[in-house]
Structure 1
């Protein structure tokens, strides 16, 4: 379980330094990656496989300037890792900023991320894109 937590912490570090390729290399070929959000959040939706996760990060990079990235707790839960944190960003299309707490659940098997779910205040994020 400690290895699973390290995997997710390493991925959070990679996101913080702007290295999504590091994360994509650590997802399973058949990963099920989902981000809540309606049509106003350009990167919301369901993504499948490594190419899908790469597309997810491309969309975030095109849509948001990440201002702060603060993972706070990363906890083992069997074959899953649960994390909570906070981030702030600026929606590139509008220049508006947002701040949101988040909770993430990662499925992990054989050292690879097999699933991802996030819950955050999507209303705050969506408002920044209006």
Structure 2
């Protein structure tokens, strides 16, 4: 596939994610897809390495259970051959403590035969950890 087709697959994936359509999103990944999500997994519930479609589906379930996105926006796409890097922004709340969390992020995709074979997140894990560790606000 050419670079533009690779970008289109990644863009479709973001659209499906924002729609909550995880079953169709999973169809954009290879059977042996690898997700790398940084951070301490004892604090950030979805941090870790996920291999294969079943584990990646589990990742999306953990994200859904942990946070609610108010905004999730890919902004810039950078592509070279089989690699697509996306710079973006998200604004969310941690479900457990209602803590708001905003971040700029980078996502790196490696494509193989028109599908995502590797996905890695680059973000401020300290800020994400802080949002998950904040105490739930108590109304006075």
Structure 1 residue runs without a partner (length 5+)? none
Scaled by the length of structure 1, the TM-score of the pair is 0.96
Number of residue equivalences: 130
Partners of 2:50 and 2:77 in 1: how far apart? 23
Partners of 1:4 and 1:40 in 2: how far apart? 33
Structure 2 residue runs without a partner (length 5+)? 134-140
Scaled by the length of structure 2, the TM-score of the pair is 0.90
Which residue in 2 is equivalent to 1:12? 14
Which residue in 2 is equivalent to 1:114? 117
**Which structure has the greater CA radius of gyration?**
2
Aligned-residue offset at 1:128: 1.3
1:80 aligns with 2:83: yes
1:41 aligns with 2:47: no
1:23 aligns with 2:25: yes
Runs of 4+ in 1 over 6 A off after TM superposition: none
| 1:92 counterpart (92, 95, 103) | 95
The secondary structure found in structure 2 opposite 1:41 is coil
Which residue in 2 is equivalent to 1:125? 128
CA contact (8 A) 1:64 1:91 kept: yes
